[in-house]
């Protein structure tokens, strides 16, 4: 499970019903958390508790997360006097089981995208001791490789490169590679680490035209997410995490055979990803109200930017004229 927001368990029940939800939860082995915002981790304890009820697994549900997640779980347990909260989660902190051979500090946006940056994009597994051995054993059981990549959304934000090896470890000998961005502005390190992936799931919080807001919030626009996918040579790009403050739809309507938006409750198999772009023309009709709202807001934003640019230019002209007049007055007359 890639991130686990508040209400995740309820969404399972809403979509699948009781029996199917319980079947799926019994098979849930791992949750990957990208960062410490509630819309990405707030539902972990509820899901873990339900998994424990169904499986009676004494080890707890495995969770790979940034170190602050442990503090959050501990504080939750103390606040609500719930020791079971920690027992239901088998936590692996990223910086306890992985290490960056170059830098252990959180990179800034400029550092992450500097052409000369010497930053290893993939954190490597530490020496096999303690929890590292347990983590390696779990990945071996799941026949997966999980590579965390630091991204500059918060100081402890991560993307994940998840793959199954080509050497026939899979039951059917298949190979795939999925990249999950979490929340992040455009990050060339993620593009490098996830090169040639089968699927890129990338946030597109803001529509094109909101680049300034995206920079301030450290998110990506639709166009920026697509650009990272192109840099990555991703075979398919699935856009997600659209801000409800702007619209429920991504701000693009041009058909591209390898790009599609994701929706709540969407279910799609790898082999059917190619079908998704063909639904794009129908979104305008199915979500007509939201599409119109999106266009109106985009137009209003462009008008606002145009007015701001005109005002700025007028101010510059006024300052330039004032300086010119002042220079003329101060210039001594020749006799």
**Inside any domain, residue 204:** yes
pTM > 0.85? no
| Residue 226 to residue 203: CA distance in whole angstroms | 10
List residues bridging with 98 in a β-sheet: 125
**Inside any domain, residue 171:** yes
189 CB-near residues (< 8 Å, 6+ apart)? 107, 112, 113, 117, 119, 121, 149, 150, 151
C-beta neighbour count of 27 within 10 angstroms: 9
Confidence of residue 101 (pLDDT cuts 50, 70, 90): low
Residue 73's pLDDT is what? Answer: 87
Of 32, 67, 99, which residue constitutes the final position of a domain? 99
Confidence of residue 80 (pLDDT cuts 50, 70, 90): confident
- Backbone dihedral angles phi then psi of residue 53, each to the nearest 5 degrees: -60, -35
Residue 85's pLDDT is what? Answer: 64
137-146: per-residue pLDDT in tens?
A: 999 999 999 9
Record the tokens describing residue 66, joined without a space: 């940034």
**Inside any domain, residue 129:** no
- Average the pLDDT over 170-182 and give the result: 78
For residues 194, 196, 201, 202, the Cα torsion angle rounded to the nearest 10 degrees is 70
Residue 118's pLDDT is what? Answer: 52
- Average the pLDDT over 256-277 and give the result: 92
Is pLDDT at 331 greater than 80 in this prediction? no
- Average the pLDDT over 299-306 and give the result: 72
Give the chain's mean pLDDT: 84
Place of tokens 């809403």: 14
* CATH number of domain containing 81: 3.60.15.10
| Residue 160 to residue 119: CA distance in whole angstroms | 16
**Inside any domain, residue 240:** yes
Residue 334's pLDDT is what? Answer: 55
Is pLDDT at 159 greater than 90 in this prediction? yes
Please tell me whether residues 275 and 158 are part of one structural domain: yes
310-327: per-residue pLDDT in tens?
A: 787 888 877 777 776 666
Please tell me whether residues 260 and 153 are part of one structural domain: yes
Is pLDDT at 161 greater than 80 in this prediction? yes
Question: Number of folded domains in the chain?
Answer: 3
- What range does the domain containing 48 cover? 1-99
118 CB-near residues (< 8 Å, 6+ apart)? 102
Query: Is-contact 249 294, C-beta < 8 A?
Result: yes
Share of the chain above pLDDT 70, in %: 80
Please tell me whether residues 147 and 278 are part of one structural domain: yes
Confidence of residue 259 (pLDDT cuts 50, 70, 90): very high
Query: Is-contact 184 152, C-beta < 8 A?
Result: yes
Higher pLDDT, 176 or 83: 176
**Inside any domain, residue 182:** yes
Is pLDDT at 245 greater than 90 in this prediction? no
């Amino acid at each position: 499970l890639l991130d686990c927001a508040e209400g995740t368990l309820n969404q399972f029940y809403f979509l699948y019903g009781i029996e199917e939800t319980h079947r799926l939860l019994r098979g849930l082995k791992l949750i990957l958390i990208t960062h410490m915002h509630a819309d990405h981790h707030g539902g972990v304890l509820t899901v873990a508790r339900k998994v424990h009820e169904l499986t009676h697994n004494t080890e707890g549900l495995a969770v790979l997360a940034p170190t602050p997640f442990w503090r959050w779980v501990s504080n939750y347990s103390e606040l609500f006097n719930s020791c079971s909260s920690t027992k239901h989660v088998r936590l692996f902190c990223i910086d306890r089981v992985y290490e960056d051979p170059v830098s252990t500090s959180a990179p800034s946006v400029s550092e992450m995208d500097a052409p000369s940056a010497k930053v290893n994009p993939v954190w490597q597994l530490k020496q096999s001791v303690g929890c590292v051995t347990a983590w390696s054993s779990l990945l071996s059981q799941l026949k997966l490789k999980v590579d965390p990549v630091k991204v500059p959304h918060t100081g402890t934000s991560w993307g994940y490169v998840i793959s199954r090896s080509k050497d026939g470890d899979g039951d059917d000998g298949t190979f795939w590679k999925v990249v999950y961005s979490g929340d992040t502005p455009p990050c060339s390190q993620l593009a490098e680490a996830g090169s040639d992936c089968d699927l890129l799931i990338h946030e597109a919080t803001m529509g094109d035209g909101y680049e300034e807001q995206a920079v301030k919030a450290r998110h990506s626009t639709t166009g920026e997410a697509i650009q990272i996918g192109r840099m990555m040579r991703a075979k398919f790009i699935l856009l997600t995490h659209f801000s409800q403050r702007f619209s429920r739809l991504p701000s693009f309507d041009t058909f591209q055979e390898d790009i599609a938006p994701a929706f709540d409750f969407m279910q799609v198999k790898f082999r059917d990803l190619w079908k998704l772009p063909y639904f794009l023309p129908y979104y305008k009709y199915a979500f007509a109200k939201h599409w119109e709202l999106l266009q109106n807001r985009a137009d209003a934003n462009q008008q606002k930017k145009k007015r701001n640019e005109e005002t700025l230019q007028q101010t510059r002209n006024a300052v330039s004229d004032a300086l010119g007049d002042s220079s003329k007055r101060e210039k001594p007359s020749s006799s």
